[in-house]
Amino acid sequence: MKKITPFDTIAAISTPPGEGGIGIVRISGNTAFEIIEKIFKPHRKKGISDNLKSFTMHLGYIKEKEEIIDEVLVSLMKAPHTYTREDIVEINCHGGAVAVNGVLRLVLKNGARLAEPGEFTKRAFINGRIDLSQAEAVLDIVRSRTNKALEAAVNQLKGKLSGRIHNLICVLKSVLVVLEANIDFPDEEDVSPLRLKDIQKKIDSVKNELASLIASYDTGKIIRDGVVTVLSGKPNVGKSSIFNAFLRFDRAIVTPIPGTTRDIIEEQLNINGIPFILADTAGITDSDNVIEKEGVKRSRTYMDRAQLILVVFDGSMDFDERDIEIIDRAKTLRWIPIINKIDLPIKLNPEKLIQETGMNQDFVYLSAKNGKGLSELEKRMTDMVASGDAGGDYSLMITNARHYTILEKTLEELGHASDTLDVNGEPELVAYDIRSAMDIIGEITGEVTNKDILDEIFNNFCIGK
């Protein structure tokens, strides 16, 4: 393996693994053009060396000695107007794994080093093209599961969050300037006198803004990561049928035999732009069967870690103590009760169930068989997430745990500043707290960062990004 030096030339396959229409090998660094000159033979008579213009494309062969590896389209992009701000070459190969890997191997043989995960984006950050929160947004864009998640990530990439943070830092800076002038030259005439009320007001405005960003995280996190949701209930009530109805295909096995589902099956679902990670589980029962027992154990564990529980009852039968046990477990969590099989004559008495359990949720009436009630259930699920404790309409959302922690710490630091102002107003102490608040919040955009944080962030990327 080659030694990693900060700005050597790197290369990687930037398209997903497997077969595709095309596969792209991307090269970035000082010797990117040199490398392509060595291995690329254009179809035009003129060599590529005579035509190294930025933003041009060239058709030809990638050749190792006389052997043709692939017919490709090469794009040249000259620094500094590129993704990494370095010279970039992208080779569009035919999509097969063999061709793309063959081209990459040849590029590496001719002097490039295999890029680490996220290294292209890391260079864009280090070279000042984007800040850290924008680099993180690139990762979120690649991973977004719904349009809403994508929108949040794109906003962050466009610098909406960075802009907001920058404004807050500016306000804090202006407070600091007044404080420091008074500390250093308390008696100078042209230093405006220290008006503690004004300072408190400015600090409060920053604190409010921070609090509202922090509050947006519950929703932001859900929009980015999805709501872990579990179907729970006794055997045979129709959990797998509902699971399949959501997915609009027969994903899970459905039979009239109780105890059909044993393993937990997870699928992703997009309901009105909100991602759900939906799990079908084994029916809760006291079975002696070893396999079923294990399934029930897993269902219970999953219920504890889920963010939303869909408890299913069979409407064609009366409820029993097992249903009550399941309600007792779900009641303390975020949950929706569902009476299924409403296409059959109803034997379950909902009022009695409410009476016996003291539950305070309305039932959703559903037939997994004919789909009746499904859209109401979907609405209940999204309402539950998008309103109440995890709701709100935010112009800008925090979606990233790192940002959330930083904002909380900043708010705490400003709290100290406010407390000091309240007690004795010593400008030195207030200035100290404000300076540390500025240092902390600067970590979001990476104005202040250490190497470990950078490694942690970029290691989450895939190679080639």
Query: Site residues (CB under 6 A) for ligand GTP?
Result: 235-241, 254-256, 258-261, 282-283, 340-341, 343-344, 367-369
Residue 91 DSSP SS3: strand
Minimum gap (Å) between residue 292 Cβ and ligand GTP: 9
**Residue 344 interacting partner from ligand GTP, Mg ion, none (CB closer than 5 to 8 Å by kind):** ligand GTP
Q: How far is CA 43 from CA 58, 73, 110, in A?
A: 8, 10, 21
Minimum gap (Å) between residue 279 Cβ and Mg ion: 11
Count other Cβ atoms within 10 Å, centred on residue 191.
15
Query: Do the bridges between strand 308-314 and strand 227-233 make them parallel or antiparallel, or are there none, so unpaired?
Result: parallel
**Residue 152 interacting partner from ligand GTP, Mg ion, none (CB closer than 5 to 8 Å by kind):** none
Residue 308 DSSP SS3: strand
Q: Which residue is nearest to ligand GTP (CB)?
A: 283
**Residue 28 interacting partner from Mg ion, ligand GTP, none (CB closer than 5 to 8 Å by kind):** none
**Residue 146 interacting partner from Mg ion, ligand GTP, none (CB closer than 5 to 8 Å by kind):** none
CB 107 within 8 A of CB 35: yes
- Phi-psi sector, 48: left (phi>0), alpha (psi -120 to 50), beta: alpha
240 interacts with Mg ion by CB under 5 A: yes
Minimum gap (Å) between residue 329 Cβ and ligand GTP: 16
**Residue 23 interacting partner from ligand GTP, Mg ion, none (CB closer than 5 to 8 Å by kind):** none
CB 264 within 8 A of CB 280: yes
**CA-angle at 212, arms to 208 and 213, nearest 5°:** 115
Minimum gap (Å) between residue 385 Cβ and ligand GTP: 24
CB 448 within 8 A of CB 439: yes
Instruction: Mark 129-167 as b/e (b = at least 16 C-beta within 10 Å).
Output: bbbbbbbbbbbbbeebbbebbbebbebbbebbbbebbbe
Minimum gap (Å) between residue 254 Cβ and ligand GTP: 4
Nearer to ligand GTP, 255 or 301 (CB): 255
Nearer to ligand GTP, 156 or 261 (CB): 261
**Residue 427 interacting partner from Mg ion, ligand GTP, none (CB closer than 5 to 8 Å by kind):** none
Minimum gap (Å) between residue 377 Cβ and ligand GTP: 12
Count other Cβ atoms within 10 Å, centred on residue 201.
11
Nearer to Mg ion, 240 or 357 (CB): 240
Which of these ranges, 42-50, 235-243, 322-330, 375-383, lies near Mg ion under the rule CB under 5 A? 235-243
Nearer to Mg ion, 23 or 233 (CB): 233
Dist CA 101 CA 107 (whole Å): 10
Nearer to Mg ion, 212 or 287 (CB): 287
Minimum gap (Å) between residue 255 Cβ and Mg ion: 8
**Residue 258 interacting partner from Mg ion, ligand GTP, none (CB closer than 5 to 8 Å by kind):** ligand GTP
261 interacts with Mg ion by CB under 5 A: yes
Quick one: DSSP state of residue 423? H
Nearer to Mg ion, 180 or 294 (CB): 294
**Residue 259 interacting partner from Mg ion, ligand GTP, none (CB closer than 5 to 8 Å by kind):** ligand GTP
Cβ contacts of 65 within 8 Å, gap of 6 or more: none
Q: How far is CA 462 from CA 119, 129, 380, in A?
A: 9, 20, 36
Nearer to Mg ion, 261 or 410 (CB): 261
**Residue 238 interacting partner from ligand GTP, Mg ion, none (CB closer than 5 to 8 Å by kind):** ligand GTP
- Residue whose C-alpha is closest to residue 410's, from 214, 176, 196: 214
260 interacts with Mg ion by CB under 5 A: yes
The identity of residue 40, as a single letter, is F
Chain residues binding Mg ion by CB under 5 A are 239-240, 260-261
